[in-house]
Amino acid sequence: MKIITCFSYKGGAARTTAAANISAALASMRPGVGSIKTPLRRKVGLIDLDVFSAGTHSVFEIGDRDIQKFSPSIQDYLRVQPPPGEYAVAGGVPLDHPFMNNFRMLRGAEGNCHSGFTLFPAKPRPDERFVVQKQHENVLWELMERLENEQGFDYVVLDGESGIRQMAEIAIRLADIVLVFFRPTWQHIIGTLNTCQEDFLVQSLKKPFYLIPTCVPTAEKSDGVFLESAAGLMELRAFTQQVPEDSKLNEFAAQYPDGPGYFWSGAHSGGERVCIHDSLYLRGAERVIVFEGTSPRDRAAADFYAIAAEIDRLHPPA
């Protein structure tokens, strides 16, 4: 089993939407459905570790009220610490759960997603007594062992916190692979660059991590989203493309060709940088789209699948 942690230096980088879509793509079962080319057929667990701002359930169109009543949540598991084997069964929302009806029926997951796909949600309003503690790392390690050895998961994806906070650090330490999401803006890039240069991520862990830009705020006319004549659009596009170069992000990525340089510097996809284009048409509709029908502007869905396929190729389950 491999553990994938999704991290972002700042919120609003589409980390949660990406985590859900990449997880679903890893669990794909049929070719030619939506963005899926070759199904990856992995049993995937998705755990919401954004314990103070949980929202992974919303990408599956599950309401806050339902998850608030659901028990045990990940916060319940960490606070009460029941046997991890019990939580691995009771704390999951599997594909056949009523909460997953919209994902299963409306979003095309019925028959197209591994039947073992499971969401482990967090309460959007945690108990006031919940505090992240160092021992939670050991408790989560025990859960990972049960998910691998007893439940047979191939991948567990952790939707971690934004910023370097205690739970974010735990999620990164648990990971075999770290996906770092950022917007191509100065605040996101400089913060992401500084974080990735910290010894904690680059030197101490010695594990693969990939930089994935999201939300490119411009579009070609052929995308049918914006017109090229829109006021300031071309200037905004040129500025956005220049930021990574001026900020030395490209220079940093080139130093790690087996790490962040892979998704950022154009090592695949015909030499194009792989970005998740969510700002163009996913804002207000943040959901799992990899099984939905394709159109010329569904670049986001195609990118979610491409990233999942490359992770599966480079880091297959042990």
Summarised one tens digit per residue, pLDDT across range 197-208 is 776 665 556 788
**Average pLDDT, rounded, for the chain:** 84
Given a cut of 70, whether residue 126 has pLDDT beyond it is: yes
Report pLDDT for 265: 59
Given a cut of 70, whether residue 32 has pLDDT beyond it is: yes
Domain residue ranges of the chain, discontinuous segments joined by +: 2-216+274-313
CATH number of 2-216+274-313: 3.40.50.300
Closest CA to 292 of 106, 20, 44: 106
Given a cut of 60, whether residue 225 has pLDDT beyond it is: no
DSSP for 36-53 reads: -SS-----EEEEE--TTS
For residue 184, give every residue at least 6 positions away whose Cβ sits within 8 Å of its Cβ, in sequence order, or none: 213, 215, 216, 240, 241, 243, 244, 275
Q: How far apart are CA 48 and CA 44, in angstroms?
A: 13
Report pLDDT for 269: 43
Closest CA to 23 of 305, 213, 314, 313: 305
40: confidence class by pLDDT, cuts 50, 70, 90 = very high
Q: How far apart are CA 247 and CA 262, in angstroms?
A: 18
Q: pTM here?
A: 0.90
Low-confidence winner among 19-28, 72-81, 89-98, 240-249 (lowest mean pLDDT): 240-249
Report pLDDT for 280: 44
The Cβ of residue 122 has, within 10 Å, a number of other Cβ atoms equal to 26
Given a cut of 70, whether residue 272 has pLDDT beyond it is: no
For residue 219, give every residue at least 6 positions away whose Cβ sits within 8 Å of its Cβ, in sequence order, or none: 225, 226, 277, 280, 297
Q: How far apart are CA 260 and CA 225, in angstroms?
A: 29
Identify which has the larger pLDDT, 232 or 184: 184
Q: How far apart are CA 27 and CA 95, in angstroms?
A: 11
- What pairs with residue 211 in β-bridges? 180
Closest CA to 257 of 192, 175, 314: 314
Closest CA to 19 of 91, 149, 119: 119
Given a cut of 90, whether residue 238 has pLDDT beyond it is: no
The Cβ of residue 247 has, within 10 Å, a number of other Cβ atoms equal to 18
Report pLDDT for 296: 44
